[in-house]
Amino acid sequence: MAGMTITEKIMAYNSGRDKVKPGELVWTDVFSVMTMDYLGKSTFKSLHELGKTEVFDRERVICVSDHLVPPPTPAFATMLNEWRQVVKEHNIKYFYDLGRQGIAHQIMVENGHVLPGKISVGTDSHANTYGAVGAVGNAVSVTDAAVAMAIGKCWFRVPESVKFHITGKWQPYVMAKDLSLHIMGMMHWNGHLIYKALEYAGPAIEALDIAGRMTLCNMTVDLGAKNGIIAPDQKTIDYLRPVQKGNWEMIASDPDAHYDAVYEVDVTNIGPTVALPDKLDNVVPVEKVVGRKFNKAFVGTCTNGRLEDIAVLSQILKGKQVHPDVNFILVPASQQVYLDALRAGYITDLVEAGVAVDTPSCASCAGIHTGVAGDGDIVLSAGNRNMKGRMGSKNAQIYLTSPAVVAASALSGVISDPRLL
Amino acid sequence: MSDKIIRGKCWVASGYVMAYDIVVQKFWTDPIDKALNSKFIMSGVSPEFDKENAFKDAGYTFIVAGHNFAGGGKSIEHVVTGLMGAGIKAVFADSFSRLQFRNATNYGLPFITVKDLVSICQTGDELEFNMETNTVKNLRTGETRETAPLAPFVLEVAEAGGLVEFVKQKIADGTAHMLR
Ligand code: SF4
């Protein structure tokens, strides 16, 4: 009998089976369920429609305020108040509200609410991020999340797996984001990866810290994949040990597992990479766009708002000045990240360089909160989506790239190659 | 004819069908209601369907499509309720957008993976879908294709009137923990 991939194993074991086949529909146990300010109230409403007033486990339904905090309008403030009340009524143990907030996906990983070999769902598309620690993370609708909250289960179609075997040596100032964008250009957002389990493996993945693995898994949703996953290793153990909210076992793909396709990528050949405005898969090496003007720089989001990303900004900007024609906004992904960056001195370096630091939230990423783009803005962003109107005005352009390219470019006011600093 | 066999006319997609075209933007905020959502269903896919009830009145039972049916990252449930309101009983495609696959299953409309059915069907062909043998047959040409098997709960969800009712019953009778 052929072996199974890590995703197949996780789906099998969490549904009480020895084996599953791609295409099969199974009900699995869910380890944790995340919902947030934007959709949380509707999710709890759906829970009640199922005839339940209590969640299946008050320690495994995680509530986060991220899209609307702090509220910029009275309407948002009212929504948040209603949300808080609903969370309190359900006696939820882990409520990351304003003051302890962060982007939900960051919160879930950084506080050990997702664990290797387990399945977690959330009412937001980038729940794929959880694969960074060897979990199956999946975005679901309000109804599915309510079912999971009610009975601790969710149904899934077992996906076919695709492996990216990544070898080679990471070049200076080349980040996980560059690999993500490179693969986006290679595969296209509506291509072969639709509905697949995307597994990253190989020496260049083992070399990545958890932050980089989160960036990679995070953007698998934008590649159309069902989930992105990296087998746990010693780095995963070290990261989770102080925070884990449960026990787990190491789980990895069998050597004879079947993949729909295996792609080899050598990171030695990848340099800083940029996605041009409007289309995520319109990707070029930074050299092709060097010299283009932009006026807004943005680093944050569940893709690139982590301590390691902020460290790169500080490395490039410390003791220098952001170009006067550039407005640079940094939004740490969580209060924990913010605090760690403060303690490391990065925030001081960046504020001295002329970077505006905003309190952790999704900020302008989805175009509904602080720092949105207006008509005529050209944004150089370390976020994850660049379609027209994503960050606000439809008459703004968004280039997507790594934090290193954003920082290097912010110095000159035109897109620049960090390797030439 | 057993209720595990459905016959009817099919509409065959000529290219990639996006969720945005099945339900065009001005209807995204409409309430979920099968009759309402079906009025202008598919209006962005082809100009011939851009008239009230045009797709519905054409009387199709099945849709046959290629890669990533209803893709584009839109999670609106109107896609599924609209198709159901227009009389669609099953959609066959090489692959589906996962958001709409979930919506379809949760409302009880089978979205069934069949490789390359597009190449043996034309719009207007009469098809026979047999859920017991997991096959779909083109009655005009006699050609048959195998479909991915339908999980039993998909039909049970349809019978219960959707996922919420299905799970609600399981919770009420104390069997929800047995779902596998
Ligand atoms: S940071 Fe952006 S992509 Fe991530 S959860 Fe928030 S809005 Fe979504």
Domains of chain B are 5-148 (3.20.19.10), 150-180 (no CATH)
Alpha-carbon torsion (A60, A66, A68, A69), positive or negative? positive
Whole-angstrom Cα distance, residue A408 to residue A206?
A: 27
User: Over the stretch B139-179, which tens digit does the pLDDT of each residue have?
Assistant: 999 999 999 888 889 989 989 999 999 999 999 999 999 99
Whether the pLDDT of residue A96 is over 70: the answer is yes
Chain position carrying tokens 């005839």: A51
Question: Which residues have CB under 8 Å from A339's CB, separation 6+?
Answer: none
Could you tell me if residue B25 is left (phi over 0), alpha (psi between -120 and 50 degrees) or otherwise beta?
A: alpha
Question: Which residues have CB under 8 Å from A3's CB, separation 6+?
Answer: A253, A254, A255, A256, A257, A258
Task: Please report which confidence band the pLDDT of residue A194 belongs to, taking 50, 70 and 90 as the band edges.
Answer: confident
Task: Please report which confidence band the pLDDT of residue B82 belongs to, taking 50, 70 and 90 as the band edges.
Answer: very high
Please check whether residue A381 is in contact with residue A399, taking contact to mean a CB–CB distance below 8 angstroms.
yes
Expressed in angstroms and rounded, the spacing between residue A66 Cα and the centre of ligand 1 is 9
To the nearest whole Å, the CA of B57 is away from the closest chain A CA by 31
Count A/B contacts: CB-CB distance under 8 Å: 79
* Minimum CA distance residue for ligand 1 atom 4: A302
Whole-angstrom Cα distance, residue B61 to residue B64?
A: 10
To the nearest whole Å, the CA of B113 is away from the closest chain A CA by 9
Question: Which residues have CB under 8 Å from B174's CB, separation 6+?
Answer: none
User: Over the stretch A246-304, which tens digit does the pLDDT of each residue have?
Assistant: 999 999 999 999 999 999 999 999 999 999 999 999 999 999 999 999 999 999 999 99
Chain position carrying tokens 């219960």: B160
Q: What is the pLDDT of residue A192?
A: 83
Q: What distance lies between CA A221 and its chain's CA centroid?
A: 9
Expressed in angstroms and rounded, the spacing between residue A245 Cα and the centre of ligand 1 is 24
Q: Does B16 touch chain A (CB under 8 A)?
A: yes
User: Over the stretch A42-77, which tens digit does the pLDDT of each residue have?
Assistant: 999 999 999 999 999 999 999 999 999 999 999 999
Task: Tell if the CB–CB gap between B101 and A157 is shorter than 8 Å.
Answer: yes
Ligand 1 nearest atom to the CA of residue A300, by list position: 1
Q: Other C-beta atoms within 10 Å of A272: how many?
A: 26
* Candidate of A66, A330, A387 to mutate for ligand 1, largest count of ligand atoms within 8 Å of Cβ: A66
Rank A342-356, B6-20, B143-157 by mean pLDDT and report only the highest.
A342-356
Q: What is the pLDDT of residue B58?
A: 97
- Chain-wide mean pLDDT for chain A? 96
Please check whether residue B32 is in contact with residue B77, taking contact to mean a CB–CB distance below 8 angstroms.
yes
Task: Please report which confidence band the pLDDT of residue B1 belongs to, taking 50, 70 and 90 as the band edges.
Answer: very low
Instruction: Determine the residue of chain B that is closest to A28 in CA distance.
Output: B180
Expressed in angstroms and rounded, the spacing between residue A302 Cα and the centre of ligand 1 is 6
Q: Other C-beta atoms within 10 Å of A338: how many?
A: 23
CA-atom Rg of chain A in angstroms: 21
Task: Tell if the CB–CB gap between B103 and A147 is shorter than 8 Å.
Answer: no
Q: What is the pLDDT of residue A93?
A: 98
Whether the pLDDT of residue B17 is over 50: the answer is yes
* Residues in chain A closer than 8 A to B179 (CB atoms): 27, 151, 153, 155
Q: What is the pLDDT of residue B83?
A: 97
Please check whether residue B114 is in contact with residue B147, taking contact to mean a CB–CB distance below 8 angstroms.
yes
Whole-angstrom Cα distance, residue A160 to residue A175?
A: 28
Whole-angstrom Cα distance, residue B180 to residue A202?
A: 33
Option in A147, A190, A226 nearest B98 (CB): A226
Instruction: Determine the residue of chain B that is closest to A197 in CA distance.
Output: B98
Element at B108 (helix H, strand E): none
Rank A53-67, A181-195, B73-87 by mean pLDDT and report only the highest.
A53-67
* Minimum CA distance residue for ligand 1 atom 6: A362
Expressed in angstroms and rounded, the spacing between residue A218 Cα and the centre of ligand 1 is 10
Whole-angstrom Cα distance, residue B7 to residue B60?
A: 10
Q: How do the residues of chain A divide into helix, strand and coil, expressed in percent and rounded to 5?
A: 35, 20, 45
**Would the ipTM clear 0.85, i.e. be above it?**
yes
Please check whether residue A300 is in contact with residue A329, taking contact to mean a CB–CB distance below 8 angstroms.
yes
Q: What is the pLDDT of residue B29?
A: 81
- Chain-wide mean pLDDT for chain B? 93
Expressed in angstroms and rounded, the spacing between residue A148 Cα and the centre of ligand 1 is 22
Paired residues of B96 in beta bridges: B69
Alpha helices in A318-361 (DSSP H): 335-343, 346-353
Q: What single-letter DSSP state applies at residue A21? A: -
Whole-angstrom Cα distance, residue A246 to residue A152?
A: 15
To the nearest whole Å, the CA of A25 is away from the closest chain B CA by 6
Whether the pLDDT of residue B42 is over 60: the answer is yes
To the nearest whole Å, the CA of B126 is away from the closest chain A CA by 27
The total number of residues shown for chain A amounts to 421
Instruction: Determine the residue of chain A that is closest to B76 in CA distance.
Output: A141
| Percent of chain B surpassing pLDDT 90 | 77
Q: What is the pLDDT of residue A161?
A: 98
* Candidate of A298, A302, A331, A359 to mutate for ligand 1, largest count of ligand atoms within 8 Å of Cβ: A302
Q: Does B81 touch chain A (CB under 8 A)?
A: no
Whether the pLDDT of residue A191 is over 80: the answer is no
Angle, CA A215 vertex, CA A209 and CA A217 arms, to 5°: 100
Q: At what angle do helices B98-107 and A142-151 cross, to 10 degrees?
A: 60
Q: What is the pLDDT of residue B98?
A: 85
Interface residues on A facing B, Cβ-Cβ cutoff 8 A: 15-17, 23-27, 46, 49-52, 125, 140-141, 143-144, 147, 150-151, 153, 155, 157, 190, 194-195, 224, 226
Whether the pLDDT of residue A1 is over 70: the answer is no
Domains of chain A are 6-244+257-265 (3.30.499.10), 274-420 (3.30.499.10)
* Residues in chain A closer than 8 A to B20 (CB atoms): none
For the ranges A26-30, B25-29, B84-88, B165-169, the lowest mean pLDDT is seen at B25-29
Q: Other C-beta atoms within 10 Å of A45: how many?
A: 12
Angle, CA B13 vertex, CA B8 and CA B16 arms, to 5°: 145
Whether the pLDDT of residue A189 is over 80: the answer is no
Ligand 1 nearest atom to the CA of residue A305, by list position: 1
Q: How many CA atoms lie within 13 A of A39 on its CB side?
A: 20
pTM: 0.92
